[in-house]
């Protein structure tokens, strides 16, 4: 089964629901899935961690800063491993071939570079977190990528 | 169609010359030798359809040649010429696998009749092979054929009606066709329609998915191979180009073909001949090619991954099939067609969709196109317990999410659209910018700004 769908997700994002959709789609068109996890270059993800690291840096305790950053990276990698293991298991149960790649950098650049090396991909699916920024990024995306781009998002509920 | 290739092995010179001349006049491709050793050597170099051999010859005799042909060239029919009164040797030859025999002195018309029967047998065998391949595809790992199980084509939208019109407009043409469109839109079905509305509809139609084979296996599937061409090639095998001679070969996912094979395919289109893997003899062939891809071929050409000369040879006629989201009028007719198909298959009496199910399908984007729709309906039929498909039988994921697909190849900004148009007008005006600006009703400066973007 050739991987025809690339599912792009933000590192650290809870993309469980988005992946459920991708799995259903892959089953219906008999496709494999490649999960592309994109982390921003700066691995710090919480304001508190950044502030803590800054405080230690001001105090000259660079060893603690490095420990904090390494710890944060370790936690992120651990969470990512668990997430990918869960996706792999769900794909295995559904008899869908799954591969994954982890990359750092700007999502648009990462997607473009990935597609250049993977000409057999039929469509790009953006997770809900990436789809949320689509107004800002859509023009850049369509200028750089020649595959159909699928945004997955939750419909907005009308307030009564 | 290719001429029947006949090798005559006869030591009597007058008979040999007479037979060679007469069979050549009948339209066969004839080669004559006056001894069995030379016949064996020729058989080792190339394939013949029929061997006509005298039973008694210097060197290798007819029966030895027969044994060799049965072992190494099983597709070659053997017609043994026996002496006057030697019926036992004729029976012996038949027991050893000869297709037929003729006793001396023989009537030339009788010999021609026997050869014509062999020719008809081979034609039917070839048709049978093609039919078997199309109805009974082998396991997926070695699969080379798309199952053809009968087809009907749903086209309610204007866009698909135009596709049908285009297919009808080329029905009397023999041109190669390139079908483009996203994955799951129905490119294979359109390829079948092109064949079965053409003058080639009585001949074979076979499909080959270029994405599922390695380069070496794809070459073998396309061109066939000779015995010993590679490890495991214990007998010669005809490729799909030979089998679909006179018919249509559908090459799906053509963009996955290596540039090396693309070059060989180009030669087939230009010269109408090819050589089997491991072979030396060119084989003439008359095949119409229909190719398909979901990739942007222009980008692949720019990147050196697809040959531009091959593209122009395949793209004599280009048929684009729009995605399902751009022809929403087709969704419900297609859904009803699949409902009927799978209800019948499951032995269920499900005859319609509920209003909720219709709403859900009407507002869903179907990034997987017709293939996805078919799968959704098939699963709904399995899950449904009433006579109507309810919203509950549809996948939860298509109800929970808003899915929007944007195809960058189809989206242009206003500036790009203006630039494209301005370039067309400039070309029309023979590159005269003043004239082009005049035609567009704008100043030269404005034209320059549009073209510069």
Smallest CA–CA separation between A43 and chain B, in Å? Answer: 29
> Tens of pLDDT along B36-89?
999 988 887 777 889 999 988 887 888 888 988 887 787 889 999 887 667 778
Chain B residues whose CB is inside 8 A of the A27 CB are: 375
A48 domain-assigned: no
Beta-strand relationship, A149-153 and B402-406: antiparallel
Does A30 reach chain B within 8 Å, measured CB to CB? Answer: yes
Give the chain B residue whose CA is nearest to the CA of A116.
Answer: B303
Minimum mean pLDDT range among A127-136, B227-236, B272-281, B299-308: A127-136
> Tens of pLDDT along B165-190?
888 888 888 899 999 999 999 999 99
Most confidently predicted of B124-138, B271-285, B393-407 = B271-285
Ordered DSSP codes for A126-153: E-HHHHTTHHHHHHHHHHH--S-EEEEE
Residue B227: band (very low, low, confident or very high) from pLDDT cuts 50, 70, 90: confident
In the DSSP assignment, the letter for residue B60 is S
Interface test with B, best of A132, A147, A148, A152 (most B CBs within 10 A): A148
User: Cα(B447)–Cα(B32) distance, rounded to whole angstroms?
Assistant: 74
**Hey, what are A48's tokens?**
């508190």
Q: Give yes or no: residues B197 and B54 share one domain.
A: no
**Residue from the list B182, B305, B395 with its beta carbon closest to the beta carbon of A24:** B395
Q: How many A×B Cβ pairs under 8 Å?
A: 94
> How many domains would you assign to chain B?
4
Say yes or no to pLDDT of B434 above 80. yes
Residue B261 confidence (pLDDT): 95
Residue B375 confidence (pLDDT): 94
Residue A69 confidence (pLDDT): 66
Q: Last residue of some domain: B400, B420, B439?
A: B400
Q: Residue B297 is part of which domain span? A: 158-320
- Is B406–A152 a contact, with Cβ atoms under 8 angstroms apart? no
How large is the ipTM?
Answer: 0.77
Average pLDDT over residues B254-270: 94
Whole-model pTM?
0.68
Q: Give yes or no: residues B223 and B372 share one domain.
A: no
Q: Residue A102 is part of which domain span? A: 3-42+80-151
Q: Give yes or no: residues B316 and B332 share one domain.
A: no
Residue B149: band (very low, low, confident or very high) from pLDDT cuts 50, 70, 90: very low
Q: Give yes or no: residues B298 and B170 share one domain.
A: yes
Q: How far is CA B83 from the centre of its chain?
A: 47
Smallest CA–CA separation between B153 and chain A, in Å? Answer: 19
Does A95 reach chain B within 8 Å, measured CB to CB? Answer: no
The CA radius of gyration of chain A, in Å to the nearest whole number, is: 18
- Residue B435 maps to which CATH number? 1.10.10
Say yes or no to pLDDT of B127 above 80. no
B395 domain-assigned: yes
> Tens of pLDDT along A90-107?
999 988 999 988 888 888
B114's CB contacts (< 8 A; 6+ apart) are B79, B100, B102
Q: How many percent of chain B have pLDDT more than 70?
A: 92
Q: Give yes or no: residues B29 and B97 share one domain.
A: yes
Q: Last residue of some domain: B104, B123, B142?
A: B123
A111 domain-assigned: yes
Does A24 reach chain B within 8 Å, measured CB to CB? Answer: yes
Residue B347's region, left for phi above 0, alpha for psi from -120 to 50, else beta, is: left
Q: Give yes or no: residues B259 and B168 share one domain.
A: yes
> Tens of pLDDT along A30-66?
899 999 998 876 654 555 566 666 666 677 776 766 6
| Closest-CA residue to A35 (of A110, A93, A106) | A110
A91 domain-assigned: yes
Q: Give yes or no: residues B184 and B298 share one domain.
A: yes
- Residue A10 maps to which CATH number? 3.40.50.620
Residue B209: band (very low, low, confident or very high) from pLDDT cuts 50, 70, 90: very high
A64 domain-assigned: no
Give the chain B residue whose CA is nearest to the CA of A144.
Answer: B408
Beta-strand relationship, A123-126 and B29-33: unpaired
Look at residue B342 and give its three-state secondary structure.
Answer: helix
3-state secondary structure A93-115: HCCCCEEEEEEECCHHHHHHHHH
**Residue from the list A29, A139, A141 with its beta carbon closest to the beta carbon of B183:** A29
Q: Last residue of some domain: B290, B320, B350?
A: B320
User: Cα(B347)–Cα(B361) distance, rounded to whole angstroms?
Assistant: 24
């Amino acid at each position: 089964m050739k991987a025809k769908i690339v599912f792009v997700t933000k590192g650290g994002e809870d993309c469980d629901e988005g992946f459920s959709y991708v799995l259903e789609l892959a089953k219906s068109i008999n496709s494999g899935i490649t999960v592309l996890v994109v982390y921003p270059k700066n691995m710090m993800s919480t304001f508190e961690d950044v502030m803590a690291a800054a405080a230690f840096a001001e105090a000259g305790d660079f060893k603690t800063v490095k420990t904090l950053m390494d710890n944060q990276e370790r936690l992120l990698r651990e969470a990512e491993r668990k997430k990918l293991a869960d996706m792999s298991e769900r794909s295995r149960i559904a008899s869908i071939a799954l591969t994954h790649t982890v990359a750092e950098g700007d999502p648009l650049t990462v997607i473009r570079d990935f597609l250049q090396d993977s000409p057999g991909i039929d469509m790009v699916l953006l997770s809900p977190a990436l789809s949320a920024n689509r107004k800002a990024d859509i023009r850049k995306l369509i200028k750089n990528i020649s595959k159909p781009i699928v945004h997955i998002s939750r419909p907005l509920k009308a307030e009564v | 169609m290719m001429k029947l290739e006949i090798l005559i092995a006869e030591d009597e010179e007058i008979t040999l010359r007479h037979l060679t001349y007469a069979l050549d006049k009948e339209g066969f491709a004839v080669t004559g030798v006056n001894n069995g050793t030379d016949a064996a050597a020729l058989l080792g170099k190339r394939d013949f359809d029929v061997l006509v051999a005298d039973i008694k010859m210097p060197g290798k005799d007819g029966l030895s040649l027969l044994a060799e042909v049965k072992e190494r060239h099983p597709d070659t029919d053997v017609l043994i010429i026996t002496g006057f009164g030697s019926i036992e040797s004729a029976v012996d030859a038949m027991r050893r696998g000869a297709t037929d025999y003729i006793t001396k002195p023989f009537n030339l018309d009788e010999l021609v009749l026997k050869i014509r029967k062999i020719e008809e047998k081979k034609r039917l065998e070839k048709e049978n092979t093609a039919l078997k391949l199309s109805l009974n595809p082998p396991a997926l790992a070695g699969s080379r054929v798309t199952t053809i199980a009968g087809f009907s084509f749903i086209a309610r939208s204007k866009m698909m009606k135009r596709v049908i019109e285009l297919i009808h407009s080329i029905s009397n043409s023999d041109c190669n066709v390139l079908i483009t469109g996203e994955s799951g839109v129905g490119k294979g079905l359109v390829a079948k329609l092109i064949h079965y509305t053409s003058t080639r509809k009585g001949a074979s139609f076979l499909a080959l998915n270029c994405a599922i084979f390695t380069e070496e296996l794809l070459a073998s599937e396309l061109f066939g191979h000779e015995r010993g061409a590679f490890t495991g090639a214990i007998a010669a095998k005809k490729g799909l180009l030979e089998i679909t001679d006179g018919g249509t070969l559908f090459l799906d996912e053509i963009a996955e073909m290596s540039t090396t094979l693309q070059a060989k395919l180009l030669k087939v289109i230009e010269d109408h001949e090819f050589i089997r893997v491991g072979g030396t003899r060119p084989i003439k062939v008359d095949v119409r090619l229909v190719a398909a891809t979901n990739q942007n071929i222009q980008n692949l050409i720019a990147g050196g991954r697809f040959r531009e000369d091959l593209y122009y040879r395949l793209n004599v006629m280009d048929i684009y099939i729009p995605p399902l989201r751009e022809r929403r009028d087709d969704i419900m007719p297609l859904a009803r067609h699949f409902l009927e198909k799978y209800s019948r298959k499951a032995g269920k009496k499900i005859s319609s969709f509920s209003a909720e199910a219709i709403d859900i399908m009407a507002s869903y984007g179907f990034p997987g196109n017709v293939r996805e729709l078919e799968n959704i309906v098939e699963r709904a039929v399995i899950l449904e317990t009433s006579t109507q498909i309810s919203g509950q039988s549809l996948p939860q994921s298509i109800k929970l999410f808003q899915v929007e697909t944007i195809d960058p190849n189809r989206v242009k900004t206003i500036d790009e659209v203006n630039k494209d148009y301005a370039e067309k007008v400039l070309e029309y005006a023979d590159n005269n910018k003043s004239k082009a600006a005049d035609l567009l009703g704008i100043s030269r400066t404005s034209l320059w700004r549009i073209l510069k973007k």
